[in-house]
Amino acid sequence: MKILIADSMEKEAVSEIQKLGEVILVPNDLKAAIKDADILIVRSATQVNAELLSHAHRLKIVARAGVGLDNVDKEACEKRGIKVISTPGASSNAVAELALGMMFAVSRKIAKADFSMKKKTWIKKELSGTELEGKTLGIVGLGRIGAMLALKATALGMEIVYYDPRTPNSTLGRQVNLNDLMALSDYVSLHVPLTPETRELINPAAIAKMRKGAVLINTARGGLVDEEALYLALKEGKIAGAALDVYPQEPYTGKLCELDNIVLTPHIGGSTKEAQIRIGKELIEQLKKELK
Ligand code: NAP
């Protein structure tokens, strides 16, 4: 059995996968390597489209290590009889913790404080922050990650409102429409998948409804936010801050990098040792089931 891992994965996950067969890790020429692969494993970077699949002669399974299948053309896979699997729950806690960490990072200006210390400057007066306790957190998408974040934020004394028409009457928070969520929240955190319906859900009109002093957190997908509208809102001080882990194009080097009131991370939501071990284990279980 030949297993092709197209995107870099932590060694904990790779060693789990090696239990199933010969592993080819991040080849230089993916189209050549996919020719005789039985299983293709990707994270979010590799685009699994019809063109790539046309080079595969034996492929039976495309496995997305993580959640979010927006980089996999499921129809093209289906047409070729290739099964698509993923590990939806394995990275939920890691992403929820990152979202929470980003809320702290923006509110206490942790990144700016660290940067200034390393430049050997003491700018204590510029680093007064705000607290999470008593503030309202608006969660857009109360699925696996959104629900975990709601529980953690509740424990910190935050009030939860959420927008997710498909999860009505949750006890984790108060359901509101998106306009009200944007207007009520001190922190807005995005946890919906990227679909035609959610693309640029956070557009100029939605941002205009946000409180002055609010913070936007996006650990879901870059395409959910209108980048230009966010840039202007941050530059003009319409909102206090933002933190992003995901971008419309990755790697991201765009103009949001120029701003002081934003915290940026390079798509590390699922990159914890624990999540990678869970991803590896979940993948193995699913692959074994499929290969029976
Ligand atoms: P999930 O369990 O599927 O939760 C998403 C929730 O949003 C579901 O309840 C879903 O309802 C709801 N939803 C779908 N469309 C909506 C809309 N238009 N408006 C409001 N709610 C809507 O997904 P998850 O595991 O929490 O993951 C959320 C997203 O996080 C993923 O899609 C992925 O893009 C991102 N993610 C990022 C990282 C990272 O490394 N930064 C890692 C993992 C995941 P239905 O179930 O009915 O569709």
Residues 202 and 124 in one domain: yes
Q: At what angle do helices 110-118 and 92-107 cross, to 10 degrees?
A: 70
Residues 50 and 162 in one domain: no
Residues 29 and 79 in one domain: yes
Q: Which of 221, 227, 278, 282 is catalytic?
A: 221
Average pLDDT over residues 21-50: 96
Average pLDDT over residues 93-102: 98
Q: Is 174 a catalytic residue?
A: no
Residues 115 and 219 in one domain: yes
What is the tens place of the pLDDT at every residue in 119-162? 999 999 999 999 999 999 999 999 999 999 999 999 999 999 99
The overall average pLDDT reported for the chain is 96
Residue 260 CA from chain centroid, whole number: 22
Q: Is 159 a catalytic residue?
A: no
| Gap from CA of 202 to ligand 1 centroid (Å) | 15
Residues 97 and 163 in one domain: yes
Residues 84 and 105 in one domain: no
Range(s) of the domain holding residue 215: 92-264
**Number of independent structural domains in the chain:** 2
Q: Assign residue 215 the CATH number of its domain.
A: 3.40.50.720
| Gap from CA of 138 to ligand 1 centroid (Å) | 15
Q: Measure Cα distances from 38 to 42, 49, 86, 237, 240 in Å.
A: 13, 17, 16, 52, 49
Residues 57 and 137 in one domain: no
Question: How far apart, in whole angstroms, are the C-alpha atoms of residue 18 and residue 6?
Answer: 14
Q: Which atom of ligand 1 is nearest to the CA of 198?
A: 18
Residue 11 pLDDT level (bands cut at 50, 70, 90)? confident
Residues 81 and 113 in one domain: no
Average pLDDT over residues 222-239: 98
Residues 82 and 105 in one domain: no
What is the pLDDT, as a whole number, of residue 291? 86
Residues 249 and 164 in one domain: yes
Average pLDDT over residues 15-31: 93
Check whether 16 has a pLDDT greater than 90: no
**Are residues 149 and 99 in contact, defined by beta-carbon separation less than 8 angstroms?**
yes
- Which residue's CA lies nearest to atom 3 of ligand 1? 143
Q: Is 267 a catalytic residue?
A: yes
Residues of the chain above pLDDT 70, percent: 100
Residue 105 pLDDT level (bands cut at 50, 70, 90)? very high
Check whether 238 has a pLDDT greater than 90: yes
Check whether 163 has a pLDDT greater than 90: yes
Question: How far apart, in whole angstroms, are the C-alpha atoms of residue 132 and residue 215?
Answer: 11
Q: Which of 131, 250, 258, 285 is catalytic?
A: 250
| Gap from CA of 219 to ligand 1 centroid (Å) | 10
Pocket-forming residues, ligand 1, beta carbon under 6 Å? 66-68, 88, 91-92, 95, 141-146, 163-167, 191-194, 197-198, 219-221, 245-246, 267, 269-270
Q: What is the 3-state secondary structure (H, E, C) of 32-58?
A: HHCCCCCEEEECCCCCECHHHHCCCCC
What is the pLDDT, as a whole number, of residue 192? 97
What is the pLDDT, as a whole number, of residue 10? 80
Q: Measure Cα distances from 260 to 112, 241, 265 in Å.
A: 8, 9, 14
- Which residue's CA lies nearest to atom 4 of ligand 1? 143
Residue 9 pLDDT level (bands cut at 50, 70, 90)? confident
